[in-house]
Amino acid sequence: MEQIKNYIDGKWIDSRSGETFPSINPARKDEVVGVVARSREEDIEDAVKAARGAYEGWRLFPAPRRGEILFRAAEMLLKNKEALGRLETREMGKILPEGLGDVQEAIDMGYYMAGEGRRLSGETVPSELPDKDMKSIRIPIGVFGLITPWNFPIAIPAWKVFPALICGNTVVFKPSSETSACAAKFVEILAEAGLPKGVLNLVHGPGGEIGELLATHPGVDAVSFTGSFDVGSRLEGICGSIHRPIVTEMGGKNIILVMEDADVDLAVEGALWGGFGTSGQRCTAASRIGVHKKIYDAFTEKFRTAASRLRVGDGLKKGVDMGPVVNESQLKKVLKYIEIGKEEGATLILGGKIYDEGECSKGYFVEPTIFTEVTPEMRIAREEIFGPVACVIKTEDLRDAIRIANETPYGLSSAIYTRNVNDTAVAERDLDFGIVYVNASTIGAEIQLPFGGIKRSGYGRKEAGGRGGALDTYSRWKVIYRDFSGRLQKAQIDR
């Protein structure tokens, strides 16, 4: 059992109160992964003060040298990939291959943002006047408050921390209390890679208690949040009222469309991965599958048969396809939505119960669950469940499928399976989502492009990527005009 401490101003320390809370293995709820420092307002004060004190030096630290530190961190993540992946599985439950993939995403982001240390490019354009030049440059924003969820406990912190640092910001990082051990290991690697003290600070504790304290602290200049819509929208309102930039990524009600000419077997694979990967606990999970009426029955039977063969269990065991949900609260939420689906008149064709066979009785496991005869207005087709529950909806044609897809408050990820190139063009144009996949599941974003959604799925600029994504999130533009004519020129007036 490990002691998980805060990291403030270059030191690993207990919370000022000395209070702690346990981090529990969701597959074996009697196993404590670590005992975590429970932060309060005074700990946030210390962390923000440290970040503010380190900002001037880090802002002026050459960006290529910042990149060298990030490159070393990526190398260390790669070296520790297996251990970090296993820790993810123990602390939040995803199966080991997914945990390793999560760490690889952080490695990719580290290398990518390290390279930006030698770019961070702006723009130089000609002036309409003689003896005058003009350019735009990127500059850091200041102290960032970063708040991350538990479902990607290494990757999402990397998506935020690496670009924030390469742009010259300092950081106070508040991870989910469910995955404090993973966050601590990530920060430990960055510290060992050579970050100066105070540049990156880590505080643990329940988001409802300290997340808002961090986001509203007067010493914080900007906020990036990934989590639920309810919390994110509240933070948006608060930050708007104090004129503080905030970026939010808040989940989705994603859909896979399967057209009559689709490769059905391939679409079933995509629906399995989208619906039950990470036990459905992804913001990009495919909790809706819209299937053309001509192949609805054939698809549904193949999907049910394939899902019934998924092996549920401890994600560290070889051959397991799906692990537990993260905690008891999430378990109860998923079971509640399954009951809502039954009450709404959807047909339950698979699962629907706690899975408690053998050692699974010690954890928070739910059977892979499929509803058919689902209509778009049902709550299970509109509200984010965040569990292994898939809803199959019958569609008439492409136009009807796109209409159904768009009739949701969310707009993060979507997919279409079809062999018709014209239909893919229409889908790309008309699907009202931040991300569209063609003949692939709703999961599979790569770090080179911006990531994020619209409507209730997100607000502000995007994560990942370069221009249009993370670099625009974690830096701001400054425009510079230099006149070396030696006389007053009045731009358009002089013309």
Tell me which H or E stretch contains 428.
helix 421-430
Selecting among 283, 360, 384, 463, the annotated active-site residue is 283
Cα(160)–Cα(165) distance, integer angstroms: 9
Selecting among 116, 249, 384, 463, the annotated active-site residue is 249
User: Which tokens sit at 141?
Assistant: 């924003």
Burial class (CB in 10 A: 0-12, 13-18, 19+), 152: buried
Q: Please, where are the H alpha helices in 312-420?
A: 328-344, 398-406
Cα(337)–Cα(16) distance, integer angstroms: 40
> Which residue bears the tokens 């799925």?
457
Q: Yes or no: say if 375 and 273 are a contact pair by the CB < 8 Å rule.
A: no
Cα(177)–Cα(36) distance, integer angstroms: 8
Q: Tally the C-alpha atoms within 13 A of residue 419's C-alpha that lie toward its C-beta.
A: 6
Dihedral of CA atoms 481, 482, 485, 489 in degrees, nearest 10, equals 20
Dihedral of CA atoms 62, 63, 69, 70 in degrees, nearest 10, equals 170
User: Which tokens sit at 352?
Assistant: 């629907």
Cα(187)–Cα(10) distance, integer angstroms: 10
98 catalytic residue (yes or no): no
In 3D, which of 164, 168, 134 has the Cα closest to residue 147? 164
Residues 6+ apart with CB under 8 A from 387: 279, 280, 281, 325, 330, 333, 334, 337, 366, 369
Q: Looking at beta carbons, which pairs linking 377-383 to residues 24 or more positions away fall under 8 Å?
A: 378/341, 378/344, 378/345, 378/346, 379/337, 379/340, 379/341, 379/344, 380/337, 380/340, 380/341, 380/344, 380/346, 381/253, 381/288, 381/408, 382/253, 382/407, 382/408, 382/409, 383/253, 383/337
Cα(311)–Cα(136) distance, integer angstroms: 54
CA angle 327, 106, 281 (to 5 degrees): 25
283 catalytic residue (yes or no): yes
Residues annotated as catalytic are: 249, 283
